Structure 1
Amino acid sequence: MSFRSNLIKARSHITFLIALGFGLALVVTLENTIDKRATDSTEPTEPSAVQNQSPIAAFETVEPLPLAITGEATEDDLEYARIAWRYFENNTHETTGLVNSADKYPSTTMWETGSYFIAVISAELLGLIVAEEAEARISLAVKTLSALRLFDDILPNKAYNVQTAELVDYGNRPVERGLGWSALDIARMVGALGQVANRYPELAPDIAALLEKWDLAQMVEDGRLIGGNIADNNLRRDQEGRVGYEQYAAKAMMLFGYDMVNAYRAEDHLMVKDVLGQPIPVDTRLHRNVTPAFTVSEPYIFDGLEFGFDARSHRFATAIYKAQEARYRETGILTAVSESHLDEAPYFAYASVWGGGAPWAVMTFKGERLDSKRTITTKVSFAMDALFGTDYTRELIAAIAPLADMERGWPEGIYEEDGSTNVSITTNTNATILAALAFRVHGPLIHAAP
């Protein structure tokens, strides 16, 4: 076959990769432009002038912590990574290629499937699996995703059965129409697919074909993310995302050329709360239109590990980290908070740096306080150690390391109240550990092209 014929056959593959490259450039260019525009005009000379500044100006005094990329993995790192990978060996369904959201629980979301793809890439980067296995795992899952029945033939449903790929509710019970779609979850999935295409170009045509089947334009409106929810059997479209998650998801969508300028502009809905001397970014909007919004570590650590911090998110992440270290220095209580699964009802909680109107609040999905379930989270401990590598993060790892289950993976963490283990074992935690350990060697995942 001639070179010209080969080129014609590969044109969709080439076009997709070129578009992805432009998306990567857009992420970098847009973040620098917006951050510069938000801070150039600030002149903190008079109190009245300070009050009129963008809240972004409060972070100009935050000195971003240097990143702790070492270029190599220690023996402990590799052992920790092998334990995390064991979770995925145990929980991948051989027919669909999808992974249980929690150990032996055969349900998943687009967020958790995206986490699985990040875990596969990270495992290959760390030498736990070869590239052929990584591609085979992702290829099977992408094939299943391509055949999924979508919610209203628009976008992936909020949850699927891992074994059958059927639409289910959050109790893993089949539902004919579905629950709607989560724009944040799908954006996380889209970002992971971009990472896959960057790492394994041979899979780019399959990813392009998959995304063609999803009407992603339905979840983008005026540069913001729009979720689909069922209300009285009708589809209701709601803006999704709060400061932190919204900007992380915006970066993911920008990889594929979507206009996410308003979602990326954190300052439009930003207030600053002082927590132990650190400016903490908090969204002015209500969480699910009910409870004052919260700030957790998760979107910032994902941003740093996967895309690489921008100037703004690096400062935000630094302040969020420093507040947690300051709490430890002040109280002696190890602190590494974020959203996490629980091993008993209500099975999920958001442990915040600021949330529900107060520092260190822990809230349920419905916005009820549940401070007794504050967890020193395994994923945040590993991620902050990989990103910043401080004496404090090493103390966190020393406390978390004994929790490892050699046969099942890493549990969620340690309950602060009584020191017992939160024994829930999940996709998101074990994927984050792998991403963190890969970051220590290679830096942000998006830069680790073959």
Structure 2
Amino acid sequence: MKRRTFLKWGTAAPLLLSGATAAESTTVTPQNTLVVLDGLDSRTSPPRTAIVLDTFARNGLPITCLLDPSQSQLGPNSALSRTLTQRAEKTPGLVQVVPWVKQLGSMTPYFQARAAYEARRALEAILWGNDAPQSLHMAVSQTIACDMQPIAMAPSGLRASGIRNVLMRPDVSTQVRPEAWDNGVVRIIGGQRVQLQLPPTAYSLPKTQSVERVYYLSAHDLSNLPLARLQAAATAFAQQVLLPDEGPWVSAILASDIQFRDAYDYQRYVGVHFTLRSDATDKEREALMRFRQELALEGLSSSFGDKTSAESAFQYWANLKESHPLDEPLAPLGALGQGPSSSAHPSTPKSYGIAIELSQKREGGLGADNTLRIPSVRVQNVRTVSDTLQTSMGAADSVLSIPAEMLRSKAHQRMLKDALQAVKNDGLSQVVSLSDYVGRLVPTDSYTTHFRRTEAYYPYISQRPQIPNVTEREGLMNDAKVAWSYFEKWTNPKTGLCPATANFSKTNPRLHEAVTMWDVGSHIFALLAAVDLKLISDQHFRHAIEKILPNIAGRRSQGRLLPQGWIATNKFKWGNRNFDGCDAGRLLAALYSLDTHPLSKGLATSTVASWDLKNVVDDGIVHSVEEGTLVSTFRSHCAHYAAWAFRIWGIEAKSPYEVLGGKSASDGQMSLLEVCGHIGPMGAEPLLMEALEFGMSPEAAYLADVLFAAQLEEYDETGRLICVSEGPINSRPWFLYQGLQFDAPGRLWAIDTVGGLEEHRTKAFREEHLAISSKAAYLWSACKDHAWSAKLLSFVRERAQTPYGFASSINEQTGTPSSTYSDINTNAVILQSIAARLRETCESW
């Protein structure tokens, strides 16, 4: 199964993708030129670096230095750090150090924001510890560098961390291509690779071009020249850059000055937020509201909220899903509950948002706790708002935090209004409310939407089912009898195997007489549930199992004895030579439950031991065997489930889901969403089977919450019952994988097929075949205590029952089931879910 592909540019869009900037069409002739020094690491020679930097400074040539913030060997007291910091402090307009994050260009918006935040903090720790000068901090905070990528993601997550300029460093000389993005970020891609050398005539620098000139020097190359000649080589290079023999004169700049020295229309956001004392009177609150309405009439947006208990920072919850009403305060964070990612939740359900912190600290960005830290300026005097803003933040985005008690007099209100109008009209600033400020900067791609939805719903979906009352128990037992009727009717009395699907219409009855090992595993689980529910006797159960086991002895191929890809249900030990790693996972899970059940203890041990399962696990990854070739299972959502099944039999296996370790809760969950987005649409199966069979892993537990929250939100907003999983249909392509697509915006209920044909990926096909899965409804009922689960179960119970088991699904558009079509997995999973519910053993998470 191949994943569907979606365009994931994020929310930003490029305005200038190639060629000239807007400056090309004017009469301005200076060529903006950047000189960049990379390769700075623990192997760099500090004396040689110092010679080059000092020489460039004497000649008036600005240079931007790229430093990898993961250089753990460096620190404020290292020779290289002292070399850089001394010169950056002495000549801040000529020497600048910015972080270099190699893979930034391939990151999604959330991880762009996280990487930029952490890189800037790590770089400042390397260079200055906790004592970075404010002017240097602001320069560093707006610029970052990375390597060029064949296909780069849009830089739509960077402005949340204050980044406005991105250098994409080439390995070899590449034509410069500037990009101006509509989120205010400029990205300069490419540049010319240069080595310092003598004589200077050896340089081949372009004389003129319509875009910025960017020259990259490597600190590693500085050792190629004798120390005594390094200064002369650096002087020659600087002079040739600054005073070319022909062409326009050069305007050499630091990377942080890119947008200020060209026609990129640089603008910043200035948030206006009023803070109220917790003991403010109604009269004071009313006065603030009147003043804010006056500001709004003059085009000056604002927000307000009560002061929080924190002395150094104000913390709030910012709603990102809907516009914030003028008269509604931002909720203080301290009044909100804590969720699975240690970030706050709104006090009302279903409110997308993010925790924010207004701090006078200069750093801003998305922290590991999923809190957006926003640089703020505390206004102490309404007369000096503009000066205070410029002194504290320069031209960077920031928020004005204004105590409401400063507005007691009409004179102060007038002065503040005039000051805010001056900021608005300075040609640089857009005055916005704090909630709007957050909405414009925070990453809003597909993955973060799923993440935030889950956070918003989490407090309301986390309860495990209660013990069924007498009426509910009776209803579940009746459902179990219906599901068991499929096996009673269609199991072959000679082989003990049950067909995969059955169409029992009078006009065209037919059975699909081949079953996969997944189907056989489901049959075994159905028998275990049936005997536990007293639908069959102990003797019947034992006799049925003893018939099935010889049929799955397996077949030897390429020197490996493995269970077969499929076997016939009407013949003894007859099937193909292939092997399916995912299907084997289902079979192994069933055989383990069989082996540990009191009525069949140890019955499957010899069968499993006979298989050469370790021979299909390569580098920890479970593989299938197709026509003798090993094929990885990692591009399927069954890989995690299969890995657990292999492990319970003592065979170590990896899972693509296991990316939570060593990260914050938010970072781990976002990583998991991205992994799943690359695999394809996710449904309830086999996700929820862990809860019934192994106990829920942290990865599956989180993904189950994501899927459940999306289905519940769909119902809340549209009234549609969506319950997606995999299952058969009675027309081509015969089997569908239905699920939530994580790398698509909103809630896309996608469909995938084994063949992955384009005709099965169209919107029309999706709308025609989207269905409510009968087995998934019972899985959710077993694992989630929610009114929606009960409603879904009732819907399926009323519409999907047939004379021989439950119909596989109910068409979402028509509301009708395939009334004469049922399958082994649907009825087995329903039996399994009912048995778990009545045993009260379904794991909560």
User: TM-score with structure 1 length normalisation?
Assistant: 0.75
SS of equivalent to 2:673: strand
Contact residue 800 and residue 808 of structure 2 kept, 8 A: no
- Displacement of 1:412 in angstroms is 1.1
For the structure 1 residues 69 and 225, does the alpha-carbon distance in structure 2 shift closer, same or farther, using more than 3 Å as the test?
Answer: farther
Which residue does 1:18 correspond to in 2? none
Aligned 8 A contact 1:223 1:260 in 2: yes
Specify the code of the residue in structure 2 equivalent to 1:256: W
Q: Does 1:47 align with 2:371?
A: no
- Which whole-Å CA distance do the structure 2 matches of 1:125 and 1:69 have between them? 20
Q: Report the counterpart of residue 795 of structure 2 in structure 1.
A: 399
Aligned partner letter, 2:752? M
**In the alignment, is residue 413 of structure 1 matched against residue 800 of structure 2?**
no
Match of 2:785 among 366, 384, 389: 389
Q: Report SS of the residue matched to 1:181.
A: coil
Q: Which moved more, 1:367-376 or 1:107-116?
A: 367-376
Change in CA separation of 1:294 and 1:51 when aligned onto 2, cut-off 3 Å? farther
Note the C-alpha offset of 1:351. Answer: 1.4
Aligned partners of 2:517 and 2:583 also within 8 Å: yes
Shift of 1:150: 4.2
| Alignment match, 2:522 | 115
Q: Which has the larger radius of gyration?
A: 2
Q: Which residue of 2 aligns with 1:344?
A: 731
More helix by share: 1
How far the C-alpha of 1:280 sits from its partner, in A, is 8.2
Matches within 5 A, 1:164-203: 164-168=571-575, 178=577, 180-200=578-598, 202-203=600-601
Q: Which structure 2 residues correspond to residues 306-321 of structure 1 after superposition, within 5 A?
A: 306-321=693-708
2:512 to 94, 105, 112: 105
Corresponding residue to 1:219 among 605, 616, 620 = 616
The range that moved more, 193-202 or 103-112, is 193-202
Give the Cα separation in 2 of the matches to 1:380 and 1:309: 16
Residue aligned with 1:95, SS? coil
- Is this contact kept in 2: 1:149–1:156, CA < 8 A? yes
Q: Hey, what's the Cα distance between the residues in 2 that align with 1:115 and 1:160?
A: 14
Partner residue in 1 for 2:536: 129
Matches within 5 A, 1:234-245: 235-242=628-635, 244-245=637-638
User: Secondary structure of the residue that 1:294 maps to in structure 2?
Assistant: coil
Closer/same/farther in 2, CA of residues 244 and 70 from structure 1, 3 Å limit: farther
Corresponding residue of 2:716: 329
Q: CA, structure 1 residues 445+132, in 2 after alignment: closer, same or farther (shift >3 Å)?
A: farther
Cα contact 1:139–1:203 (8 A) shared by 2 = no
Deviations along 1:247-284, whole A, 9 cap, x unmatched? 2111111111111245562459x9x99xxxx9983536
SS at 1:237 equivalent: strand
C-alpha spacing 1:280/1:82, structure 2 compared with 1 (3 Å): farther
Amino acid at match of 2:675: D
> What is the CA deviation profile of residues 185-217 of structure 1, one whole-angstrom value per residue up to 9, with x for unaligned ones?
01110111000011146441x412111221111
Q: How does 1:227-306 map to 2 (within 5 A)?
A: 227-230=624-627, 235-242=628-635, 244-263=637-656, 265-267=658-660, 281-283=673-675, 287=679, 293-306=680-693
Higher-strand-fraction structure: 2
Letter matched to residue 647 of structure 2: M
Distance 1:333 1:350 in 2: 19
Q: Offset at 1:224?
A: 1.6
Contact 1:83–1:408 under 8 Å retained in 2 = yes
The match for 2:467 is 70
Q: Residues 354 and 360 of structure 1 are in contact (CA less than 8 Å); yes or no, is this contact kept in structure 2?
A: yes
Q: 1:110 to 1:356 in 2, by over 3 A?
A: farther
Kindly tell me the number of residue pairs found equivalent between the two proteins: 380
Query: Counterpart of 1:26?
Result: none
Structure 1: tracts of 5 or more residues without a match: 1-38, 169-174, 288-292
RMSD: 3.4
Report the 3-state secondary structure (helix = DSSP H, G, I; strand = E; otherwise coil) of the residue aligned with 2:594.
Answer: helix
Residue identity in the other structure for 1:210: T
Cα distance in 1, alignment partners of residues 594 and 526 from structure 2: 11
| Residues 220 and 226, structure 1, Cα contact 8 Å, conserved in 2 | yes
Cα 1:167–1:433 shift into 2, 3 Å:
same
Query: 1:140 is matched with which residue: 542, 547, 556?
Result: 547
SS of equivalent to 1:337: coil
Q: Give the 3 Å change call, closer, same or farther, for CA 142–93 of structure 1 in structure 2.
A: same
Query: More displaced, 320-329 or 353-362?
Result: 353-362
Give the structure, 1 or 2, with the largest relative contact order (CA under 8 Å, sep 6 or more). Answer: 1
Q: Which residue of 2 aligns with 1:84?
A: 483
Match of 1:432 among 829, 834, 837: 829
The 8 Å contact of residues 250 and 263 in structure 1, kept in 2 or not, is answered as no
Q: CA deviation at 1:243?
A: 6.7
In structure 2, distance between residues paired with 1:189 and 1:135: 18
Q: Which runs of 5+ in 2 are unaligned?
A: 1-340, 343-354, 358-363, 372-446, 503-510
**Structure 2 contact 498–569 (Cα < 8 Å) conserved:** yes
Structure 1 pair 262/335, CA: closer, same or farther in 2 (3 Å)? closer
Match of 1:20 in 2: none
What is the alpha-carbon distance in structure 2 between the residues aligned to residue 319 and residue 285 of structure 1?
A: 12
Answer yes or no: is the 8 Å Cα contact 2:621–2:653 preserved in 1.
Answer: yes
Q: Does the CA contact (< 8 Å) of 1:194 and 1:255 recur in 2?
A: yes
Give the letter for the 1:364 counterpart: T
Q: What does residue 31 of structure 1 align with?
A: none
Where in structure 2 are the equivalents of 1:356-367 lying within 5 Å?
Answer: 357=744, 359-367=748-756
